[in-house]
Every structure is written in C-alpha cells, then in structure tokens.
Amino acid sequence: MTDRSMSERSAMAAETPFVAIIDDDPSIRESLGSLLRSVGLTALPFASAQEFLQQRLPDAPGCLVLDVRLPGQSGLEFQRELTGADIHLPVVFITGHGDIPMSVTAMKAGAVEFLAKPFRDQDLIDAVHTGIERDRDRRRALDALCDLRERFRSLTPREREVMRLVAAGQLNKQIAAELQLSEITVKVHRANVMRKMQARSLPDLVRIADKVTLAGDA
C-alpha cells in the first residue's frame, strides 16, 4: 500500500488558512495585517515579490493580497509569473493608482478581486474569504488527483496500456490482439489494474481513468 499521502494530508485537520500580503509600504502591511488578524486570519507580510518567493508557504488554503505597484515589477507581471510557475494562489489586488485596463487584465488572469483605494475593510475581507474558499476547493481537487496519479504510477507499463484500452471500451480479446498478448494475460493485467487503482467496478475505473486523462474514447 502506497496510498498514505492523501490520508496524511487530509488528516491534518487543523488547516488554518493564511493571507500573504505583498506591499512595499510597511504601514499598509501593518494595517492590512491587523485588519485580517482581527477576523481570525493568519497574515504573512512581505515587502516584495522576491521576499515572498523565498518564504516557504504553509501547506494550507490561502490567498494573496497584492499591490499592483511593486518595487521591482508590477503586480500584474508577478501574477503572470506565479501562474507560469504553477503557483495558483488566488490573488486579490489593491491599488492606489489603478485604471480600467489594469483591472481588466487582472481579472482576465483570474484575480479574485481588484480593489482601488480607498476601499471598505469589509470588501477586502470578503474578497480574501472568497479567495481562500477558492483555494480550498482547488487544493481538495488537487489532493484527490495526486492520489490517483500516485496509484497510476504504481502500474507497470503493460498495466497502463491495458487500463487505457479497457477504459476506451475495448474487449479483452481486442486488447490482447492489439498488444499481441493472450487474452488470459490481459485478464491478469486488468485485475491488477482494478486492485492497484482501487476501482470497485468498471464504471469506477472509467471515471478514474478519465480523471488521470488516459482515455481516448471508443
């Protein structure tokens, strides 16, 4: 059995959400931090994107509050950079000197919210909660997927092939012909696939296969 990852991960019940704040103005970091702490959230202040990247983030649902104007690059660029680096923390933008094209770009890139100063405290809090909820969902889905992928990795190449063809709706006989095997051998592989993937039925396996994106229809 090699399926400990998910159990362990989701067993860590106390997943207290966090909010990372990137703003070069210390007083803003301070006031945003205390605002968020006042509603029970963990605030992590950073003075720059670089500082943020050097920090190891908690393994919990979170959200990023990002000033559009940053020391080095712009917040929008940093948002793209994060996405490119496969870091999908939801982003809430705040800005003192924003314009419409900026906000549209940010929203198109998936930002949760784009707040122009001055904004109401409650608006920021709402946005942050939305972001955290979105991250929680994303993490849950990712966890499940990682678990499946791990099981899939435990398959031998032959088993993977067989799984692909089974999920595509081929009969054992057809699979045997395609892979130049005897039908019996296919059955053995098939049984191994069912066991290793923890599929309780063929429909179950089909759904799993589709999630791991093996399919191809037929």
Partner DNA sequence: GCGGGCCCTATACCTTGGTATATCAGGCCA
Partner DNA sequence: TGGCCTGATATACCAAGGTATAGGGCCCGC
Q: Phi/psi of residue 121, each to 5°?
A: -50, -45
Residue 181, C-beta contacts closer than 8 angstroms, at least 6 positions apart: 175
CA angle 5/134/36 to nearest 5° reads 105
Give min distance, CB of 116 to its own copies, in A.
5
Binding to its own copies (CB under 8 A): which residues in 148-167? Answer: 166-167
Give min distance, CB of 40 to DNA, in A.
48
CA distance 94 to 67: 5
Residue 151 makes contact with DNA by CB under 7 A: no
Beta strand pairing call for 18-22 and 113-116: unpaired
Region of 108-116, 139-147, 149-157, 179-187 interacting with its own copies (CB under 8 A) = 108-116
Of 108 and 195, the one with the shorter C-beta distance to its own copies is 108
115: which DSSP letter? E
Select from 103, 124, 161, 196 the one that contacts its own copies (CB under 8 A).
103
Residue 127, C-beta contacts closer than 8 angstroms, at least 6 positions apart: 92, 112, 113, 115
- Is the Cβ–Cβ distance between 134 and 181 less than 8 Å? no
How many residues bind to DNA according to rule CB under 7 A? 21
**Which of the choices DNA, its own copies, none does residue 156 contact, using the CB cut-off of 5 to 8 A by kind?**
DNA
One character per residue 183-212, x = contact with its own copies (rule: CB under 8 A): -----------------xxxxx-xx--x--
The residues facing 63 across adjacent strands are 19
Binding to DNA (CB under 7 A): which residues in 159-188? Answer: 159, 171-173, 179-185, 187-188
The residues facing 22 across adjacent strands are 46, 66
Residue 120 makes contact with its own copies by CB under 8 A: no
Select from 84, 157, 217, 218 the one that contacts DNA (CB under 7 A).
157
Q: Phi/psi of residue 22, each to 5°?
A: -115, 115
Residue 35, C-beta contacts closer than 8 angstroms, at least 6 positions apart: 121, 124, 125
- Can you read off the two tokens belonging to residue 126? 């709402």
**Which of the choices DNA, its own copies, none does residue 76 contact, using the CB cut-off of 5 to 8 A by kind?**
none
Query: What is the binding site for DNA (CB under 7 A)?
Result: 156-159, 171-173, 179-185, 187-191, 194, 202
Query: What is the binding site for its own copies (CB under 8 A)?
Result: 98-101, 103-104, 107-108, 113-114, 116, 166-170, 200-204, 206-207, 210, 217-218
